[in-house]
C-alpha cells in the first residue's frame, strides 16, 4: 500500500499509478479513514482516550487504525477494539511478537523503513498490510515531452 505522502498537486495521479502498478491505496485523505498517530495520542492521553474520543465523532462504518511502536501500545489498541493496528518502525522480532499477540483480532499493518528487499520477510511474519511511502514520495520522474514538427506542404494531403 502507499501512504498519503504525495507530491503536492499530484496525489490523485500518484495514487492511480500505484493501483495501475498492482498496489493499493491506504487512504486518499483525512476524510476516508481514521489513523491515530503519536501526536494524537500525546494530546488525548493515550490510545484508549483517543479511540473513545474519535468514536463519538465518526460513523460506525468508518474504520479506526492506530499507530503503535511498542508491545504495550499494541495491548492498548487491542483493548480499545480498533480495526487496524499499525506496527511502526518495529524490527522483525517485534513484528512477529505483535502478530501473535493480535491473533486475528485486528488487521496488522507494517510500516516504517520498509524496503523492497524486506517485503517477503514482513509478509512471512504474518502482517496483513505493508505500507511504503516511497511508492509515491520517492518515485522517479520521467522526462516526457511532445515535439511537433511542421508539416511539409508538399507532403500534406
26-75 pLDDT, tens digit per residue, is 888 778 889 999 999 999 999 999 999 999 999 999 999 999 999 999 99
- Residue-range definition of the domain harbouring residue 125: 27-130
Question: Is the Cβ–Cβ distance between 137 and 6 less than 8 Å?
Answer: yes
Tell me if 138 is assigned to some domain: no
Instruction: For residue 32, give Cα distances in angstroms to 29, 72, 128.
Output: 6, 27, 19
Q: Contact, 139 vs 107, CB < 8 A?
A: no
CA 85 to chain centroid, in Å, comes to 11
Q: What percent of the chain has pLDDT over 70?
A: 91
In a domain, 117, yes or no: yes
Angstrom distance (rounded) from CA 67 to CA 157 = 65
Of the candidates 5, 15, 37, 63, the residue annotated as catalytic is: 5
Residue 147 lies in a domain: no
152 found inside a domain: no
> 5 lies in a domain?
no
- On whether residue 16 sits in a domain, the answer given is no
What value does the mean pLDDT of the chain take? 88
CATH of the domain at 109: 3.20.20.70
Q: Give how many domains the chain has, as a whole number.
A: 1
Model confidence pLDDT, tens digit, residues 70-114: 999 999 999 999 999 999 999 999 999 999 999 999 999 999 888
Q: Is residue 56 among the annotated active site residues?
A: no
Looking at residue 2, what is its pLDDT? 81
pTM of the model: 0.79
Buried b (16+ CB within 10 A) or exposed e, 119-131: eeebeebbbebbb
Domain contains 69? yes
**Residue 2: inside a domain, yes or no?**
no
Amino acid at each position: 500500500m502507499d501512504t498519503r505522502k504525495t507530491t503536492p498537486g499530484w496525489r490523485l495521479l500518484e495514487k492511480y499509478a500505484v493501483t495501475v502498478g498492482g498496489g493499493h491505496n491506504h487512504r486518499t485523505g483525512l476524510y476516508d479513514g481514521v489513523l491515530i498517530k503519536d501526536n494524537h495520542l500525546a494530546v488525548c492521553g493515550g490510545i484508549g482516550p483517543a479511540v473513545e474520543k474519535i468514536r463519538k465523532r465518526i460513523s460506525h462504518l468508518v474504520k479506526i487504525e492506530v499507530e503503535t511502536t511498542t508491545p504495550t501500545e499494541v495491548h492498548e489498541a487491542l483493548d480499545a477494539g480498533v480495526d487496524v493496528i499499525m506496527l511502526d518502525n518495529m524490527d522483525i522480532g517485534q513484528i512477529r511478537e505483535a502478530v501473535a499477540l493480535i491473533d486475528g483480532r485486528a488487521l496488522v499493518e507494517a510500516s516504517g523503513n520498509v524496503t523492497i528487499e524486506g517485503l517477503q520477510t514482513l509478509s512471512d511474519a504474518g502482517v496483513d498490510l505493508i505500507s511504503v511511502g516511497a511508492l509515491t514520495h520517492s518515485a522517479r520522474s520521467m522526462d516526457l515531452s511532445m515535439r511537433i514538427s511542421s508539416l511539409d506542404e508538399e507532403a500534406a494531403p
